[in-house]
Amino acid sequence: MGPANEYIDQYLKENILQSETIHRMKHVIREFSLRTPKVLVTKCIDGRVHGSKLKGYPVTTIRFGRTDGNIVSTNLNNFWFWNRIDRVVNDALCNTPGMPALFIAYMHRSDIPGLGCAAHGGNEEAARAAIKAQAEAVRKVFPKEQLYVIEGITNTDMMSETLIFDDGTIIDSQEIVANFGFNEPSEIFHSAFLKYQIKDPAISKNVGFKTPEELFSGKVPDFYADFQTSLSLKSFLIREISAIISAGEIEIQKLIQPDLFHAVYQKLSGIKELPSTLLPSLLYQIIWNVAYTLNQKRKLSKLAAEERWKHLDHAEELICYGEGFELLQRNKAVLVKTGRGDDTDALLVAKKVLDKNRQNDPKPYPAIIHLNVEISGELRSWEDFNENVSSRVNTMVRNLETVFQNQEVVILTTYSYLDQKRFYPIHTKLDPRISYPTDVISDINGEDKFSGMGLKTKEAFYAGEMITST
């Protein structure tokens, strides 16, 4: 196995271990999703603005769209863009009646000159114009009762968020940190919550019977670093915050620092035409992000100068094209999703970013591109697999051929399930660039050989082998 496949092998093993945690904690994630809106977030392909961690949402509970600079055609002919929105709206209509879906269009910025959005040449006004146009287009199609639309700004240095509502209200996590003089993430919680074990026995067991104060201690706090702990606390906090607001116990709650809770609650309560059912989840998201911002600040202060710069600047190691990459850590990959209206434009920007990174930090293997197709249902027949996976992979590979035609690359092609986030390597066409030796659909790649049970067996065998070798 050459250097590229060794890298891919380790990359897939990390994915397997995290997906096992998702499977084990599926009931906890479901508890969270019962109390929160169905969310669609659109972002830039920049790997520094990755995932849902800074929002406090567990993996699998947010849908993402990613295009370079969050530039997207809002023409109704852009099927990928509008279908993504229709899916989340219909999901809310059927599963969270009375609570609209939530759409947030994000731009990103940096306080460090030269580290802003590359797709906009660091021009923050252009980046803001892109998300503003997107938000306005979506608001024209969907009423607030179906889909509530917010504009957002992510600061890639501190991972703080600014939420901009349609009545002009702005809530900025970094501003909250400054106004309250917070220094540590634990400071946003009530002292009574920090001091004692969590009363919920299942949550307490999942966090090793530690007090919240203990979970915030150490060089790398378990509160954020341990996947199981973080998932459990997210579910616990959204449940408690929802209960506090529902019971009207704002003044007597002993979960969040009282002044912080009251300030955010009052700000959200004053937003014109904000659906009341969204207030608990938005309050939770803002408070979580305040703590996450403080943790990022703490983390940066402990890094050596070289490591700090690598963390703040682009340091992506590969390009990920498609869906289902939420388990990756920040700055691991440039993330390109379908939906811009012209995927090759986004891939060209991703190529430019990766080429620059590899010049600064050369690798002993060609550029790696991971192409993944994510599905939400079962694959029971060859027709299912061909329509939902194989044909889509081959169509997307053609875009890679257009962008990387004169460059040596290694392509990893996989599929995953929405609720699992596990990458299953496959070979859907003969191509020397698709070289990773594992192929989950080998021997069942055709109508006469394929069966749903056979595929499940092959998937389980692959996962078992990877876990054992890890």
Q: What is the CATH number of the domain that holds 73?
A: 3.40.1050.10
84, 127: one domain: yes
Q: Where are the alpha helices (DSSP H) in 34-123?
A: 79-95
Q: Decide: residue 282, CB within 10 A, 0-12 exposed, 13-18 middle, 19+ buried.
A: buried
Report whether pLDDT(353) > 80: yes
| pLDDT grade for 303, boundaries at 50, 70 and 90 | confident
- What tokens appear for 288 in the block? 């979580």
Contact call for residues 278 and 102 (beta carbons, < 8 A): yes
| 359-375: average pLDDT | 95
- What tokens appear for 98 in the block? 């009375």
Chain-centroid distance, C-alpha 71: 18
Average pLDDT, the chain: 94
Last residue in a domain, options 267, 283, 313: 313
Rounded Cα distance between 106 and 345, Å, is 19
Chain-centroid distance, C-alpha 104: 13
Q: Which domain holds residue 216?
A: 187-313
Q: Is residue 9 part of a domain?
A: no
Q: Is residue 163 part of a domain?
A: no
| 300-314: average pLDDT | 88
- What tokens appear for 63 in the block? 């849908």
| pLDDT grade for 311, boundaries at 50, 70 and 90 | confident
200, 299: one domain: yes
Rounded Cα distance between 430 and 432, Å, is 7
The model's pLDDT over 385-402, given as tens digits with 9 standing for 90+, comes to 999 999 999 999 999 999
Task: Note the pLDDT of residue 246.
Answer: 95
Last residue in a domain, options 313, 335, 350: 313
97, 212: one domain: no
| pLDDT grade for 1, boundaries at 50, 70 and 90 | low
Rounded Cα distance between 350 and 399, Å, is 13
309, 324: one domain: no
Q: Is residue 166 part of a domain?
A: no
- To which H or E segment does residue 16 belong? helix 3-24
- What tokens appear for 155 in the block? 């600061």
335, 459: one domain: yes
307, 371: one domain: no
Report how many domains make up the chain: 3
* Higher per-residue confidence, 470 vs 366: 366
325, 450: one domain: yes
Q: Is residue 272 part of a domain?
A: yes
Going 204 to 208 to 209 to 214, the CA torsion angle's sign is negative
Last residue in a domain, options 265, 280, 313: 313
Task: Note the pLDDT of residue 377.
Answer: 87
SS3 of residue 381 by DSSP:
coil
304, 328: one domain: no
Task: Note the pLDDT of residue 446.
Answer: 87
| pLDDT grade for 219, boundaries at 50, 70 and 90 | confident
Chain-centroid distance, C-alpha 295: 18
Q: Is residue 73 part of a domain?
A: yes
Report whether pLDDT(340) > 80: no
378, 439: one domain: yes
79, 212: one domain: no
Amino acid at site 67: T
| pLDDT grade for 80, boundaries at 50, 70 and 90 | confident
The model's pLDDT over 160-177, given as tens digits with 9 standing for 90+, comes to 999 999 999 999 999 999
| 312-324: average pLDDT | 93
Q: Is residue 30 part of a domain?
A: no
Contact call for residues 12 and 466 (beta carbons, < 8 A): yes
| 373-380: average pLDDT | 92
| 371-393: average pLDDT | 94
Q: Is residue 383 part of a domain?
A: yes
- What tokens appear for 314 in the block? 């682009």
Q: Decide: residue 358, CB within 10 A, 0-12 exposed, 13-18 middle, 19+ buried.
A: middle
- What tokens appear for 148 in the block? 């509530």
Rounded Cα distance between 196 and 350, Å, is 47
Q: Is residue 218 part of a domain?
A: yes
Task: Note the pLDDT of residue 51.
Answer: 82
339, 434: one domain: yes
Instruction: Give me the residues paired with residue 322 across strands.
Output: 372
Chain-centroid distance, C-alpha 10: 21
- Strands 333-336 and 39-43 turn out to be unpaired
Residue 68 DSSP label: G
Give how far Cα 211 sits from Cα of 37, 111, 198, Å. 29, 35, 7
Task: Note the pLDDT of residue 310.
Answer: 83
463, 347: one domain: yes
Report whether pLDDT(445) > 90: no
